[in-house]
Amino acid sequence: MFASIPGFADFYSQTEMNNQGVECLRLLNEIIADFDEQCEDKWGHLCALADFAIALKESIQEINKHSFNNFELRIGMAHGSVVAGVIGAKKPQYDIWGKTVNLSSRMDSTGVSGKIQVPEDTYLILKERGFAFEYRGEIYVKGISEQEGKIRTHFLLSRVQPNPLILQPRKITGQYSLAAVVLGLVQSLNRQKQKQILTRTTTRAHEGAPPLQPEDVISARWLRGGRGASHRSGG
C-alpha cells in the first residue's frame, strides 16, 4: 500500500517562511507515528477480514430489504501460511494453495447459511480482539480430518468491542497535541496569506492601481505541483 499527502512540501515551505518549520516537522512526525500504531497488532489483517465478513452479512440483509428476497451468506474463514504464485503460459493466473486454503474453503462448504464459521485457532485469536462467538462443535473436514481428526469450529457473531482501526478522539494534552499543532499551523498560514494580500494591496495603491480583491490573489503554491510527504506500508 502507498499513501501520500499531496502538497505537503509546499505547505512546509510556507510554514518555514513564517518560522514554523519545527512545528510542521512535529506535525509530520505525529502523523507518521499514528500511522505506525496501526501496524502494532500482528493480527490486524485477520481482524479486518472478520470485520469484512460481518459487513458482508449486513450488506446482504440490506439488499434483501429492498429486493424482497431472503438470501443468506455462508462464510468460512481460516488463517495461516499459503503457497502463492502465477501459473500458466498463455493465460497467467495468480493462485494460492495449501492447508489454509483448503481449511477456509471447508469452513464455507461445511458451514451453515447465515453463519461465519472459523476453526479453533482463528477463534482463539479473534476472541481476544473484541469478537463474539458461538461454539458449534467438532466437524469432519475432508483433506485434514483424515490425519488430524475432527476440527473444533465456532460461529463468528459480531464485534463486542469497537474496531481499533476506527480512530477514537486522541487524549493528548498540552500545547503540542495534534489538534493544537494543526490549529497553530492553519492560523499561521492564514496570517501569512493576509499579510501577503495587505502588502500587495498597499503597493498597488501607492502605484495608483486599483486595490486587489481577495479573489484576485492566487498563491503560486496552489498552481505548482509539489512532492508530498509519503508513508508506505507493506501488507
Bridge partners of 158, per DSSP, are 132
CA-to-CA distance for 53 and 155, rounded, in angstroms? 12
95: its cell numbers: 493462485
| Burial track 81-95 (b if 16+ CB lie within 10 A, e otherwise) | eeeeeeeeeeeeeee
209: its cell numbers: 492601481
Cβ(29)–Cβ(187) below 8 Å:
no
Q: Which helix (H) or strand (E) holds 84?
A: strand 83-87
193: annotated active-site residue: no
136: its cell numbers: 458449534
Q: Which helix (H) or strand (E) holds 118?
A: strand 116-119
106: annotated active-site residue: yes
CA-to-CA distance for 88 and 95, rounded, in angstroms? 10
SS3 state at 116: strand
The CA–CA distances, whole Å, from 123 to 71, 116, 132, 160, 213 equal 26, 11, 9, 14, 64
Catalytic residue among 142, 191, 195, 221: 142
Catalytic residue among 99, 106, 191, 204: 106
80: its cell numbers: 495461516
Give the active site residues.
Answer: 106, 142
